[in-house]
Structure 1
Amino acid sequence: MVYGSIEAGGTKFVCAIGDGDFNIKERVSFPTTTPEETMKLVIEFFKKYQNELESIGIGSFGPIDIHRDSPTYGYITSTPKLAWQNYDFVGTLKEVFDVPMAWTTDVNAACYGEYIAGAGQGFSSVVYYTVGTGIGGGALQDGVFVEGFSHPEMGHMLVRNHPDDSFEGNCPFHKTCLEGMAAGPAIEKRAGKKGQELAEDDPNWDIEAYYLAQCAYNTTLMLSPDKIILGGGVMKQKQLLGKVYKAFDELMNGYVKTPKLEEYIVTPELGDNAGTIGCLALARDSKLHS
């Protein structure tokens, strides 16, 4: 008995097979090109395990349709990736694999992984942000995703400009939203070089921390979670968290007493495995609840 995991990212798909304890048996990666090319590789990978495959957990880039009673449930909808617009992701897999499938956003899957087996373990309310090429957020309350008419798009919350920042923003929809000001491409455009090429004491990191602190501030006042987890490639800069704590304290100005910041705003315990483990956990739980 094995479970399947699909992390469908905007740059690459990561597919994995694991057991009920989230031990990964095999993992592969494919570039995200067209549905015809990429999904062919995905299906070929899982066909090797077809006789023992119990279920598949999918965390996809979006926006996606998450409502089971919708005629386009399981679709990627209005993505900027033209080839993937209005693509029936779950339906395509269902044509080949007659197993339960869990379907959610890629950041929700990472959030679930941390909730089940990482930094969010043992807490009832967990929020996870991926800060990388883009910024996305997912929230869990008692093991259930916080959703309404659609899934959250917390990466596009509006933020105030840092006093020393004249950057006009990189988001084609909102300019100076969180993603437009703090995702990897925004750092590169502002600084003239990639984040990993900047020195640890570069003032651009103070600007970045200011926007991430606003993210944590807004999340705290809206959801009061037990834990805010900041993941993604940008958060691999070790000096960032301390700067976020300082800016967060200044923004909050004593209004809300939060848990100790070193235990409240954290990076993922599972690292780059959060999404894969989250998808495996969703696959396992979809089987339990099916």
Structure 2
Amino acid sequence: MTPERPTAPRFERLALIGCGLMGGSFALALRKAGLVKTIVGFSASEKTRQRAVELKVLDHACTNVADAVRGADLVLLAVPVGAMQVSFSAMRDALQPSALLMDVGSTKCDVIAAAQASLGERLSCFVPAHPIAGKEVAGIEHADSTLYQKRRTILTPLPQTSIQKMQAAHTVWTAIGSHVSTMTPEAHDATFAAVSHLPHLLAFAAVNALTAQPKGATFLEMAGPGFRDFSRIAASDAAVWRDILSANKTEVLMQVSHFRAALEQFENTLRLGDTPALQHLIQQASDVRSAWTLQAGNACNQDSED
């Protein structure tokens, strides 16, 4: 007999700290699934707070973090990773011990360090999370209740995280359509430096390298689908990616060194005119990419931002 899946809890009050694409999409997904009664939120921007209410993402907007968190049984921290520590500090005294607190940050070691420095006795409430989803556009206007469906969410619990909170986090993400995995924070940051942070860095650098050339604008006019697909993530939010790359710089720089070695290998084959070796390198990459897209259980093989 197949075991029954845990029933997702229904929350009385979701406090959304950071009313952008990721947080707004989580709120809409919970509302659509009937898993929350009331959604309140805080954004540093008054305009964003008002817009979130107009779009019915929030039932009520608060003017500070503590007021939003007070009385909430579920709190989602959806701010740039560079703003995590300030947010943790602002919510600590208002966070009730029974609440489930999660984030959606793309780096985990730095976020956990911020939580450890700021949350005190409330650290056991915190389940660090990273949904591998998003878009290259930001803002509450782009919030989408289906954003997390068929996407992977990584949980990186702390030793202090309660088992009950971990189970609740797993159930909530599953209930809105996500495939949940667990990793250590260190493994998470090393992995996503390779498969997310470096690719973003390369996209930013490639676009800048093109436009820095005297004829860059002319070249860009002739760009087609290949350039469009490769450069899509270069349109990502600059402040968000500034924080991600800075927070995970050790792992990112290690991946840069690996990429530089691979690029030099391609350069050498071109310089030497070694076409069989060049074809081998291209075929090797093509085979890996093809196998990855066909991999069973791969929840990230469609257009997604992470």
Instruction: Please classify the TM superposition score into its range, dividing by the shorter chain length.
Output: 0.3 to 0.5
Q: Which has the higher strand share?
A: 1
Q: TM-score, normalised by structure 1?
A: 0.37
| Greater helix share, structure number | 2
Larger Rg: 2
Query: How does the TM-score come out when normalised to structure 2?
Result: 0.36
RCO higher in structure (CA 8 A, sep ≥6): 1
